[in-house]
Structure 1
């Protein structure tokens, strides 16, 4: 893997950031919403590369992940926040607290909702969190490609929410790309003139190791379905690069022995499937061959322990 490939994932030391041209705009955009409304899919599509994992399981996103889109006119730094929900454990509290911090530390908020269902209690809960925020809010109706034929009652329910809070609205599909150029222009309109915060060719501020761990976790969520919901955390133990191949050793941490059995599978079949699928994704990430070795370790109640959460990279953001 050469340095130019590595540079698009994490900010190298002593990098020179160029001066922005006249009338250039820049700023931070918080993507918020309930779990599973398509926030990570949207950010991946906007930056043009997969940096956030997606899954049909709720609460896929845990860390505040920044995706960076640089155009000739602007640099948009997207902050993909975890789905805002009622927390049931220490990890959940950290997740929701980080989402609330993101609300207060961005220039524009994109409140993403699922346009296949009417506005519900979860959406109204988030709207209440935003009503006293001085940050401009755009209400984004995602999944328009999946709307029922008679979508008027759904659209009306969100229109009422938008009118109540005086928000602009836009309909789009993060999956197909419908209206994403219009969304991009709307977001730029709300940004102030500013500098390049990151080099123009960077797509995320997260290091490759973090993205590798997320890609492994994504395959566990996809392949084990509801059996291993959120009691899994990935530790990248070693990354060794050679001109011909990158060797990655990682540990899958679960909370119970029964979960370890599910992840490993009969005769190691599930672990092999997870490793094979994750290896393919990591190869796309680094644009080179990968040897991936996975281990499974039981860490009882790690989601309830602040110390273990910190060890696995989950901290309340400043």
Structure 2
């Protein structure tokens, strides 16, 4: 038996038939139901992000377990989402609570294929989950478009919120209203934020944030007037000007999560005295721990914005139309393959 994979060469996709793997202990084979096109996938294809090739891109997916190795942590037939990478659980980084930076980390959608691990990304009919991957069983009644981003966008927001200690009563600012930003608006409200200001240059994305429940929305040039005095800020765009804007509007004792800066950009100047005297905390947050994925799935089950987050995923394209899915991902919040 074989799977079909869209293999990225560094310049283009090619559809290739790939043998299904023999599973080792702790490994799982999942048939992909839906994968979404993350911003990092777009950056890779646009040449803004370096990725080993050839590879199978895609790391936001939901699917069904169709084969398991010995000692697997899920069962045949389970509908699952999974962590963006593996973790050994025993190295110093894992033991310090940052398993997403495991010294033996292998990331889905970001690793060159090999004879042993060819189905290593979500843009395929199947994916080969290695031991050390946390798979979370998800409800049958939740739409795939809601669940697929859980393994990146949703869990990343949960981790960022945890790192800056998001609490009830916080005045929150969300900078960038893509999938991460819309999720951050919904999650801040879920956690009891007293207000959520969402900022984005795109009027359509501001409107989507408003529909989810943002207290106020604004364009970047309006931020200082609308959002000064923020207790918790999520910077999700990666724009240097947006990072600087976060420093301009943060409240005394405020916390800033820098999440979007995952590609090269210009340096940002800051005044260390301002940070010291105003007790400001700036935290980098990249990917997430397995517990954050568990919380992400629980959040998606309880949020009243579930249908709006699912609607942020654009038209679904078959794997054979992966180029069209990427094209829609440049206009919609998320493209979709499956």
Q: TM-score, normalised on structure 2?
A: 0.25
- TM (norm. structure 1) is 0.26
Higher helix share: 1
User: Higher relative CO (CA 8 A, sep ≥ 6), structure 1 or 2?
Assistant: 1
